[in-house]
Structure formats: C-alpha cells, structure tokens
A and B are shown apart, each in its own frame.
Chain A
C-alpha cells in the first residue's frame, strides 16, 4: 500500500491535478457516451409510441409507472 493517508492519495505526489484531471475526463467521456446512447434509445422508444418498453424487462417497470 503506497498511500498512508487519503490526502496523500489525492495529492498524488504533487501531480494530483494531472492524474485526476485525466481520470476525471475519462469518467466524463464514458458516462457521457452511455447517457448519449440511452437517450438516443429513449427518443427511439417515444417514436414507437406508448408503453412499449423497448429495453430489457427492468426498463419496462420504469416506462409503465
């Protein structure tokens, strides 16, 4: 275990800004992409009208509620 405390972990040997900057951007891109796809799917579902949940069973409860 290299890190004794959380603050040390965050400072990342002084390079915290760069390391966490790149990891944050990766996170943003991945989440962004997943959101983009799901709302593209939602617009598709709206296109196909009423309650037909076009996704897996789990989504069905959402749309019908």
Chain B
C-alpha cells in the first residue's frame, strides 16, 4: 500500500484535516494543563532550598524548551518549503513563528521573575538567558522580514533563508555566549540547573511540557488554516467552501 505522502500537502485537503485535528489537540492541551498544574501545585513538595518560588519551573522550562524546539521545527518546515517548493510547508513555518516568539518571551519573563528571588536581580547575563534573548531577536527578525515583503512567495523563500541561517547560528551563538559568560564572571556564578528534581516535580514539569506541545500544535494549526484561507482566497475550493457556508 503506497502511502501517498503528498496527499495532505495540498492546502485544500490539509485544511479539512487540520480542522478536524484542532479540537483534539486543544482538548488534550487543556487536560494536560490541568493535570500538570495540579501535580505542580498540590502534589509536588516544597523545595528545601528555594521554598515555593521553584514552582515557576512548571512554565519556565516548558516555555524555554518550546521556544528552541519551535525554532528548529520552523526552520525544518522552511527548509522543506524551499526544497520542495510546497507552499504549505512555508505557510507552516510562517504559522509557527508567532507562537515560538511568544514562548521565548514567556521563558524570558518567567526566567527573570524566578531570578529575582533566587539571584536577587531581574536580569542576570547568564548564558542561557542571553541566548534566549538572542533567539527572540531571531524570531522577530524572521517575522519582520516576512511582514516587509508583500509577495507571499518571496516572503516564504526569504523567510526560509533567514530561518535556516539562524538555525545554523544557534549553536554558535550558544557556545560563544557560554564561553563569554564564563570568561567574564568566572564559573562561580553559573547557576545550578534545576534544583535536585524530586520525582513529582519532574513529572509535573513533563506533563506541562506535553501540555505546551499540544497547545502549540493546536494554535499553529489554527493559524495555518487562516493563512491558507488568506493565500488561497482566489482558488475554487475556497470559493466553493464559502458558498456552503461551512468550512
């Protein structure tokens, strides 16, 4: 049975598929979110070292992981769009960027809010925080480049190039910031990663990570449907969809 990989690569068929999948992912996201928060706040014990402040970890770490993960996924979709010239993949890349940028901002916000009680200042030039900040600039660069170009095809391709160049640079930036950080303040300042993870804390955090996955997929699919409609408005299948009134 030859799997027809490209069946869902045409915007029309993907549109209806995405339509069916969004409620699933949204429901999964909500359930996981409630479970994660419950475990995070009611099951996980108080941390001996950081008291209650460590509970921010339940959104800080998922947000940070998601921000990096989404950038790589965006770069992959952009790469596909460039290589196979499939409009849908570039639309996916365009749809991912805002959610990725939001998670980066969240990671920075929760990071600095967590840093205030722990390190005493809102912002510490810690290697991770700094590279997260640079990641935010990369997202903003991608989105503003795409916004500045009117013709969608060129916007997709230009965005793809800057996304790929960006993804190649992420490890370089991370290691240079790492080197730079230890260069200046010496290793003494490096913060211990997460507090010794009691199993319930870890479980709470992992549930929250999956919750953020589900959430991002649902939101990105929703946005990609809109982009499809925006870009395919001239096509027949969208016109026919409008007549029926149900999409």
Contacts and interface: CB of A to CB of B under 8 A. Distances in A.
Interface of A: 1-3, 9, 12-16, 18-19, 21-23, 25-26, 29-30, 33-34, 36-37, 40-41, 44, 47-49, 51-57, 60
Interface stretch (B101-109, B153-161, B174-182): B101-109
Interface stretch (B54-62, B82-90, B132-140): B54-62
A33 B110 contact: no
B99 interface: yes
Interface residues of B, number: 38
Contacts of B98: 33, 36
B116 A44 contact: no
A15 B110 contact: no
B45 A2 contact: yes
B25 to A, nearest CB: 13
B52 A19 contact: yes
Contact of B42 (A1, A12, A47, A49): A1
Contacts of A14: 51-52
A27 to B, nearest CB: 10
Nearest to B222: A37
Nearest to B19: A56
A22 to B, nearest CB: 4
B242 interface: yes
B230 A15 contact: no
B245 A18 contact: no
Contacts of A25: 106, 109-110, 113
B194 interface: no
B246 interface: yes
B104 to A, nearest CB: 11
A36 B46 CA distance: 37
Given A48-B242, A60-B245, A19 B55 contact: yes
Contacts of B215: 30
